[in-house]
Amino acid sequence: MSRRFVVEADGGSRGNPGPAGYGALVRDADTGRVLAERAASVGRATNNVAEYGGLVAGLQAALDLDPQAEVEVKMDSKLVVEQMSGRWKVKHPDMQKLALQARALARQLGGVRYTWVPRAQNAAADALANSAMDGRPVHRDAAAEPSTVEDDVQPVAEPAPPVTTVLHLLRHGRTEHTPERRYSGRNDLPLSATGRAEAEAAALRAKELGIEVVVASPLRRTRETAEVVAAALGLPVRLDDDLVELDFGGLEGLTAEEARTRHPLAARRFAGDVTVPAPGGESVADVAARVQRARERLLREHAGRTVLVVSHVTPIKLLLAAGLGVGLEVVHRVFLEAASLCTVAWSSDGRSAVRLLNDTAHLR
């Protein structure tokens, strides 16, 4: 009887197009055991190209394990599944090449079918893709199963139930730049009197949320906000450099109108493309990479706990984007008030849910 494998594959791009990578793994369909894992960067590419890269890597890994195997490919990319199933045409030149590679590999296997799954059911491949985008490639093959005497077979333990970690995302209170909507990145402005009052109001709200950990950007406005809230909760403040605001470079301190006047081309490109940095500063995609690190660290170090994250507009929007499973462009489509509160819940099984967005009830 032919062996049966499940290939789980995914890909991602921070910027779309932007720095991209894929992840893929092969499971034994009968036992669920992971037999092979692959993750690698594909340079600058789109999500779809990266997803095809994951498919090719997964099929190659399955072929290396057993050319006679019957394979079910599971992906959360409707596009790739429909194209590889022959129901949709492949139009993009880069994807055409990868689709041909995938079909050539599939023909060498005992049989391949494609199944679309929700993103939450593709968490393992997604994690591998993120590892690749973080510069951590993976090429692992499981050791051969040890032979056992039938009487010595141990029962398989039930998987642990998923753990939910709740991140409450608090934007800092107002500074002198806030009312005029000035680009405020790496400056170290303190809270204004209004901003301190907002922090105190947020502290009263925080007492209702069961917060166990307070983590903040080290910039002064976030640190001061966090210290007010943490004092009310009787908790220390932990600082995380990856949560600082986008570096606006030459746009720092300017209004959007002033930026367009002084840096017309650079300001327009920065506002229109998440992969383009501010002149002398960062891009949204740059910030997304470090916010991803911060998120993974928070979920790893504080699994199952309720955490208050005190940060800035861009990092908070990017955490929301990750929770929603949408692209980085969402940063231009969400507005966050000073001292507003958002909430995202993350489950250890890969699911996430945005529970609260731009809530300012505590400021009224």
CB atoms closer than 10 angstroms to residue 347:
16
Name 102's Cβ contacts closer than 8 Å, sequence gap at least 6.
Answer: 52, 55, 56, 59, 84
**Maximum CA extent, the chain:** 79
| Residue of 168, 172, 177, 362 with catalytic role | 172
Backbone CA torsion sign across 346, 351, 356, 358? positive
Is-catalytic flag, 139? no
Helix (H, G, I), strand (E, B) or coil at 109: coil
- 340: nearest Cα among 239, 232, 208, 205: 205
Is-catalytic flag, 302? no
Spacing of C-alpha 310 from chain mean position: 18
Residue with tokens 């039930």: 158
Report residue 282 as tokens.
Answer: 């960062």
CA dist 339 and 360 (Å) reads 7
Q: Are 26 and 6 in contact (CB under 8 A)?
A: yes
Residue with tokens 């991140």: 167
Report residue 208 as tokens.
Answer: 């209702």
Element (H, E) at 71: strand 70-75
Name 237's Cβ contacts closer than 8 Å, sequence gap at least 6.
Answer: 214, 215, 216, 223, 226, 227, 230, 310
| Residue of 37, 245, 252, 282 with catalytic role | 245
Residue with tokens 């949204």: 284
Q: Measured at the alpha carbon of residue 317, what is the angle toward residues 322 and 273, in degrees to the nearest 5?
A: 90
Catalogue the active-site residues: 172, 245
